[in-house]
Structure 1
C-alpha cells in the first residue's frame, strides 16, 4: 500500500513539474517572440526616420509616461500615490512592470470595452441609446476580462441571439436590423472596409461594386427581432429561413457573398450569420487581423499604420507596409491576443517617445514623436471623479439607471461633451463643451474646497503651501510643477484671504488647462 502511494505521489510530482516546465517554456517562448516583434517595430520606424532625415523625439520622462499609460490602458489618470511611487521607483524595468500591472487591473477590460463600444455604438447617450450601450459594453467587458481570442469575440458577436445575453443583440436593434446598415457597420468595425461607398454605385477608389456590398448585406437579410420580450433589456433575435436583398431600384436578388469575392458554398450549413461568422474567423479572411492590428495601433499611437483606421484598401496603403504585415502575422501567431498585442506595442521605444519635439514636426505617419491625443468624454469624466475623491465608474446596467442620480450626472456630462472621432489627435471643442469644462458642475465640484476630498485632506498644518501645490499638480498633470509654476501658485495661495478657496482656484486652473484635457 505504501509502495503504491509512493508511486502515485511520484507521478503527481512528475506531472506537476512537467506542467510547470511546459508553462515556463511557453512563457519564455512568448517573451522571445514579443521581444523580436518589439525590435522589428522599432527597427522599421528608425529605418524610415533615417531615410526621411528626421531625428525622433527623446524618450518620454517618467511623468509623461505614467500619465499616458494609465489613460491608454485604464482610461483614467493615475492617483497621486501612483505617480509618486512610479517616479521614486529606481528599477530599470519599472515601465515594463507597470504595463503588466495595468493590463492585469480590473480597469483594463472596462476601458477596452468602453473603447470598442464607442466604435460600435457611436453617438449621443440619451436614455434610449443607453439601453444599447450598457448591454454592449457589459458583454464586451466580460470578453476582455477573460482575454478571449479576438476572432472568437467577433464570431460570437455576429451570431448573437439575445436571450439571457442581450449585449450584442442590442447592437443589431440599434441599427434597426437593416441589412445595409449592418453591412456597412460590421465591415468598418471588423474588417476596416468602407464598402458602403458601393451601396448605390461602384466604389470610386477601390474595387468594390454594388454586387459586393449587397452580397455582404445578404448575410443579415433574414434577421428579425424576437417577439414576446418583457423589456428593453431582453432584446432577442431570430434568423428566419427566408429573406433576400435586391439591388437598389431593381428586382435583382443578390445572394450572399463574402468580402473576398467568394460565394457561400452550397453545402455550407447553419444560418447566414453563422456562415459569415465561420468565414470571419477563418484563414480565408485577410481583413480581420489587419483591421484589429490597425485599430489597436491607433489606440496607443493616435493614428493607425493605415489612416483612417476603417479605410483599408489598395487605394490607401499602410505607412510601413512590411511592418504592418509582420505585426499582423504576429497577432495571428499569438492566437488573436489583444492583450499581448497591446503589451507588445506599449513596450516599444516608439510608444515611449516624448510628445515634445524640437524643430519642424515630421509627418504624423512617421511616428517620430508621440501624438497628442484628446481625452475621450469617459476618460475626462472618470479623471475628474478621481480628482474629486471618488471612484471611476462604469456605464451602469439599465435597471440601475433610473434610480441613480450619479449615473444621471454622468449621462448629462457625456451628453454635453464632443464625441471623439476615429482620429484621436483631432480636437474640435464646441461652445457647450467649453462651457461644461469652465463652469460645469463636475469641474466646480472637483475644484470646490468644501467638496473635493483631496483639497479637504490638504487643508492641514502638516502641509506647506508648496507641498499642497505639488500634490495638485501630481493629481492632475502627473508631474511636479516647475519653479515658475510653483512661485506663481504659491504666491496666489499665500496672498489670499481664504487659502482654502485659493487652493480651489489652483485646482480649477489646472483642470481647465490644455495639458489636463490632452493625453500626451
Structure 2
C-alpha cells in the first residue's frame, strides 16, 4: 500500500475494517499488535494512530462511547502455528454488547444489526471535514521531517495543546484533502519547501524561541536503523538481528536492512544502544534519539565497528594499493559524506600517509573511522 501510494483514507479504512488470517490479510495485524484487546484498548490504539490523541486522558465516557464501535472484534486461533483470525463477530452484540456508540465529536450512533460497527467509525473518521484525521497525518509527517510537530508532541492533540502555526496546519490539511489524501504529494510539498531547506546554523541562545517557528533546520542524530544501515552500506557488511522471543521459524536474511525489520522485538545491541524503540506503546517519544557518551564510545572504540572496517569487502576495494591515494581519499569522502574532500582535507590525509605513522591501508581505515564519527555524518543537518 505504501509502495503503491494508496490514498491514506482508503488505507486507514481498509486497515480498520479488516478481517481474516494474519498470514493472508496483512492489515489484520494492526489488531493483533494491540496489547490490550478489550474494546477500550482497541479504541485507545485507534485514537492514537489515526487521530493523534491519547485517549487514556479523555473523559471516561468519551472513550467508552468510542469503544462501542470495536466491541464486536474477535480473535480465534487455528491449527497453524501462530496463525490467528481477526473477525467481526456479530454474536457479541447478541451477548449484550452496547448498541449505541458515541463518536469523539459526541455524535450518537445506534448500531445497525448486520453491519460491522467498525465501518461506521471508519466512514466518520476519513471524511475530509474530520479535523482529527487530516491534522494527525500531516502533523506526524511534518514532525518526522522537521523534528517536531506543528502540534507538539505529534501524538498529543488536544484543545489545550494548540498548533504553533495554525495557518500552516490548516493549509497542509486542506492541501492533503485536495490531493485525495496523497501522502507522496505531502512529502514532496514539505521536502521542496523553503522551510525544510533552511540552514541548521543558528545562535544557541535563539534555539528555544525559534524551534516552534521552524526558523531553522534542527540538527538530529540519525535514527539507529538508518545509522547502522549506512555503516553497513559503506563497508559492505551486515549485522545479525535476533529476537528475545523464541521464534523457531523466523529467518532474517543477512543482507536485510535494519530499517526493514518488521518486529520491534527483533533487534541487536547496536539498535538498542542507539535508541530504537521496542514499539510497545505506539508513542513517538518511545524512540530515544539523543546522543550519549556510550554511543560515541561504541563508534570510536568497539570491535563491532572495527571489524566492519577491517574486513568489509567495500573497504578492501576502496583501499586497494593499486589505487592512487587521492582517488581513495575522494571515494571515501563521497561514500561517507556524499561530497568531495576540500584541498585542505586532502592535504591533511596525504601528510598523514607520508608521515609513516601508519601503513597506507591503516590510514584509509583511520580516515573512514574518523568520518563516521564526524557530526557531518552522524547528524541530519
1:222 matched residue in structure 2: 72
2:164 matched residue in structure 1: 319
Q: Is the 8 A contact 1:187 1:195 kept in 2?
A: yes
Q: Is the 8 A contact 2:219 2:379 kept in 1?
A: yes
Q: Is the 8 A contact 1:291 1:310 kept in 2?
A: yes
1:96-495 pair list within 5 angstroms: 143-163=1-21, 164-176=23-35, 177-198=37-58, 209-232=59-82, 234-243=83-92, 255-267=100-112, 270-283=115-128, 285-358=130-203, 360-362=205-207, 363-389=210-236, 401-402=250-251, 404-405=253-254, 411-412=267-268, 413-419=270-276, 422=284, 427-429=289-291, 433-440=295-302, 442-448=304-310, 450-464=311-325, 466-495=326-355
Q: CA deviation at 1:330?
A: 0.8
2:264 matched residue in structure 1: none
Instruction: Give a deviation string over 1:471-502, Cα, whole Å, max 9, x none.
Output: 22222122333455444433333323421022
What's the TM-score once normalised by structure 2's chain length?
A: 0.81
SS in structure 2 of the partner of residue 216 of structure 1? helix
Q: 1:503 aligns with which of 337, 340, 364?
A: 364
1:54-69 pair list within 5 angstroms: none
Q: CA deviation at 1:321?
A: 0.9
Q: Is the 8 A contact 1:401 1:408 kept in 2?
A: no
Unaligned runs of at least 5 residues, structure 1? 1-142, 199-208, 245-250
Unaligned runs of at least 5 residues, structure 2? 262-266, 278-282
Residues 404 and 149 of structure 1: CA distance in aligned 2, closer, same or farther (over 3 Å): closer
SS in structure 2 of the partner of residue 290 of structure 1? helix
Instruction: Give a deviation string over 1:296-332, Cα, whole Å, max 9, x none.
Output: 1112111111110012222111111112112101100
Instruction: Give a deviation string over 1:327-357, Cα, whole Å, max 9, x none.
Output: 1011000000000011111111111112123
SS in structure 1 of the partner of residue 338 of structure 2? coil
Instruction: Give a deviation string over 1:171-208, Cα, whole Å, max 9, x none.
Output: 3222232333322222122111122113xxxxxxxxxx
User: 1 or 2, which has the higher helix percentage?
Assistant: 1
SS in structure 1 of the partner of residue 201 of structure 2? coil
| Number of aligned residues | 357
Q: How far apart are the structure 1 equivalents of 2:196 and 2:231?
A: 25
Q: How far apart are the structure 2 equivalents of 1:417 and 1:511?
A: 15
SS in structure 2 of the partner of residue 419 of structure 1? coil
Q: How far apart are the structure 2 equivalents of 1:498 and 1:191?
A: 58
SS in structure 2 of the partner of residue 237 of structure 1? strand
SS in structure 2 of the partner of residue 335 of structure 1? coil
SS in structure 2 of the partner of residue 264 of structure 1? strand
Residues 479 and 400 of structure 1: CA distance in aligned 2, closer, same or farther (over 3 Å): farther
CA RMSD of aligned residues (A): 3.4
* Larger relative contact order (Cα-Cα within 8 Å, sequence gap ≥ 6): 1
Residues 393 and 161 of structure 1: CA distance in aligned 2, closer, same or farther (over 3 Å): farther
Q: Is the 8 A contact 2:196 2:217 kept in 1?
A: yes
Is 1:519 equivalent to 2:364 in the alignment? no
SS in structure 1 of the partner of residue 78 of structure 2? coil
SS in structure 2 of the partner of residue 145 of structure 1? coil
Q: CA deviation at 1:407?
A: 5.5
Q: How far apart are the structure 2 equivalents of 1:425 and 1:366?
A: 23
User: 1 or 2, which has the higher strand percentage?
Assistant: 2
Q: Is the 8 A contact 2:333 2:341 kept in 1?
A: yes
